[in-house]
Amino acid sequence: MNEEKVKIMMTPNQQPIKQVSYQDMYAMKDTLEQLESWTDILMVVDKHFANRKLPLNKKKIARDYYSLSQIFGSFMDDFSNCIDRLETQLDQLMKKEKVKISQ
């Protein structure tokens, strides 16, 4: 009988090492890049709201409100989707098998 002993690889802190594929890492990287793509446009929105010059131009505020609300709405939808996707990806990574070594 040919019995092989299987040993689970452990870190120096005695934590089991999980099997993580490059596909899993790239999926998370893509999601993070999607979130990072909002950086420039959010800086524009922040700059708009940080401008506290007086007197306020009510016509400009009314004109900008619609476009900024559309940008914010798009951001919130995308952000919610990305967060849900990241949670799913992390759950999948946590459920991955531990690395086993045959001896």
- At 4-53, the pLDDT tens digits run 777 777 778 887 777 788 888 899 999 999 999 999 999 988 887 787 77
Check: CB of residue 6 under 8 Å from CB of residue 102: yes
Q: Is the pLDDT of residue 66 over 70?
A: yes
Kindly state the tokens that stand for 45.
């929105």
Q: What is the pLDDT of residue 54?
A: 66
Q: Is the pTM for the entire model greater than 0.85?
A: no
What per-residue string of b and e applies to 66-76 under the rule 16 or more CB within 10 Å gives b?
Answer: eeeeebeeeee
Lowest-confidence pick of 42-51, 70-79, 81-90: 42-51
Evaluate if residue 1 carries a pLDDT over 80: no
Residue type, 69: S
Question: Can you name the residues that pair with 98 across neighbouring β-strands?
Answer: 18
Handedness of CA 74, 23, 4, 8 (dihedral sign): negative
**Which structure tokens are listed for 40?**
């420039």
pLDDT at 3: 65
The Cα–Cα gap between 84 and 78 comes to 10
